[in-house]
Amino acid sequence: MAAADLKLAACLCLLAVASLPMLAIAECTASGDEDSDKGRALTLKIIAIFSILVASSVGCAIPSLGRRFPALHPDTDLFIAVKAFAAGVILATAFVHILPDAFEKLGSPCLVDGPWQKFPFAGLVAMLAAIATLVVDTIATGYFQRAHAKSAAAVGDLETPDHAHHGHGHSHGMPALIASSSSTSNTDEGAKLIIRHRVISQVLELGIIVHSVIIGMSLGASESSSTIRPLLAALTFHQFFEGIGLGGCIVQARFRLRSVVTMALFFSLTTPVGVAIGIGISSAYNENSPSALITEGVLTAAAAGILNYMALVDLLAEDFMNPRVQNNWKLQVILSVALLLGTALMSMLAIWA
């Protein structure tokens, strides 16, 4: 319950920060939009809200179908390959889509005052965000593992007198003690792995939410149908496979049903909510004002850093360095091809969006 409340507070904070561009003053304007058709643009935005919502929900739900369809179970090679493809989509999103956009916004000619033209702040923010993600990842994993160890030790202390009281001699006691120790060791390893997957899924969702709010607002605030069309296709594709990657992490984390539904809802609703916010502020929003450029640039760069770290360290390295993959060269080739395919397809979308 506390984790869900913390997640809700974080999302509300991100939405509030992401809404700052609506306060921007039109100090630097762009050239006129030749394809500005508010009626057609609004129709495309409404289509985008439902299209992205459905794609996000379906993508996030697919890994959960492993309970009914054995081929999609987290332990299968197909699931690992799909997860590698989704990680490739996330990686390309960060490097090809988000980071260049952050450099463009923080290096805009409209930012004539301040140090923005003198230093590559987008790269600095992305680097600091990746380091911060590493720190949070490490601290959170260590904290929950220590908490689990203390809980297991407390249970062990309570059970020891009971076993001693019911013991039946050395010949029966020692083998039972060895078996109990082995079982406890396996249980601890399994618990640590689950804790690790839980931290990964929560940090990954945080990075996705930051990016999703910003890109959703950009789509919602645009009045150009020629800009919205490719964005709609790109975001639908991106959210679907990003949902598969996040859903896979959630399944491996073995959350309770309530937590699974909460995380899936947050992921599925974030971009549509961002689009709705963009629609609401489109009349007062000026994407070329200094306030909008700085706010979007910093948050976008931070999202790029978070997603880069998560894709490379927590998703790809986690699977590629797994002994099961290391000892199977065919599986290595399959994962490599899936990864390259995911990065290639998502990178190609940069031609249109």
- State the pLDDT at residue 136: 86
Nearest to 63 by CA among 286, 322, 306, 267: 267
More confident residue, 113 or 339: 339
Phi and psi of 328, rounded to 5°? -135, 100
Per-residue pLDDT band for 179 (boundaries 50, 70, 90) equals very low
Q: What is the mean pLDDT of the chain?
A: 78
Q: Per residue in 22-70, pLDDT tens?
A: 444 344 654 444 445 777 888 889 999 999 999 999 988 888 877 777 7
More confident residue, 275 or 253: 275
Q: 230 exposed, middle or buried (CB, 10 Å; 0-12, 13-18, 19+)?
A: middle
Position 180 pLDDT exceeds 50: no
- State the pLDDT at residue 109: 87
Question: 189-198, 299-308, 333-342: lowest mean pLDDT where?
Answer: 189-198
Residues 6+ apart with CB under 8 A from 207: 133, 303, 306, 307, 309, 310
Position 1 pLDDT exceeds 60: no
State if pTM tops 0.85. Answer: no
Question: 144-153, 264-273, 340-349: lowest mean pLDDT where?
Answer: 144-153
On whether the CB atoms of residues 298 and 106 are closer than 8 A, the answer is yes
Q: How many residues are present in the chain?
A: 353
Q: 254 exposed, middle or buried (CB, 10 Å; 0-12, 13-18, 19+)?
A: middle
- State the pLDDT at residue 322: 86
Express as a percent the part of the chain with pLDDT over 70: 78
Per-residue pLDDT band for 131 (boundaries 50, 70, 90) equals very high
